[in-house]
Structure 1
C-alpha cells in the first residue's frame, strides 16, 4: 500500500508517476532524432542518439520500478532492547559509572 501522499497524488491524476516519466522519455527518444535530422545532422548520427536515449530510458525505467518496489515494502521492525553477547548496547559502551583515578 503506497504512503498517503503518494496514494492521493495517484488518485488525483489517475496514473502512476513512474509510468509518466517513462512515457515522456520514450516520446523524447522519437522526437530528438527528428529534430536532429531537421537541423542537418546525419541520419546515422540521429539514430545513434536515439539508441543512446533508449538505453538510458531503459535503465531509468528499471531503476524506477526497483525503487517503487522498495518503497512499497513495509519497514523492518527493529528491537531496541536486544543486547550483544557482552551486554553492551553500543559498541564501546562500558558497564558501570565513572572511573576515577
Structure 2
C-alpha cells in the first residue's frame, strides 16, 4: 500500500509541473494539484479500510460457530437430566 501512496504523492508534484511547462496557468496547475491531493487522501483512507476488512475476515472465519446461545459440549442442551449421587437413570 505504501508504494501506491508514494506514486500518488509523486504524481501530485509531477502533474502540476508538467502542466506549467505546457503553458497552463499557475491557478489551473494549483487547482489540479489540490484535486490530486484530495483524491490521494480519499484513496488512502479507502485502501486502509479495505486492508483492515480483509484482515478481519479470516479471523472471523477461524472461529467456530457455537450455535444460537453459544453453548457447547455435553449436557449443554436445554432440559438435560442431571444424575444425583451416581444413581443410574432408568
Q: TM-score, normalised by structure 2?
A: 0.65
Aligned residues: 65
Q: Which has the higher contact order (CA 8 A, sep 6+)?
A: 1
1:56 to 39, 53, 58: 39
Uncovered stretches (5+) of structure 1, i.e. residues with no partner: 1-17, 83-101
Partner SS state of residue 75, structure 1 = helix
Unaligned runs of 5+ in 2: 69-90
Match for residue 75 of structure 1?
Answer: 60
For 1:46 and 1:23, the matched residues in 2 are separated by 20
Q: CA RMSD in A?
A: 1.8
Higher-Rg member (1/2):
2
Once the two structures are TM-superposed, the CA of residue 71 in structure 1 deviates from its matched residue by 1.2
Structure 1 stretches of 4+ with a deviation exceeding 4 A read none
Report the Cα offset of residue 58 of structure 1: 0.1
C-alpha distance in 1, partners of 2:27/2:44? 25
From 33, 37, 40, the counterpart of 2:23 = 40
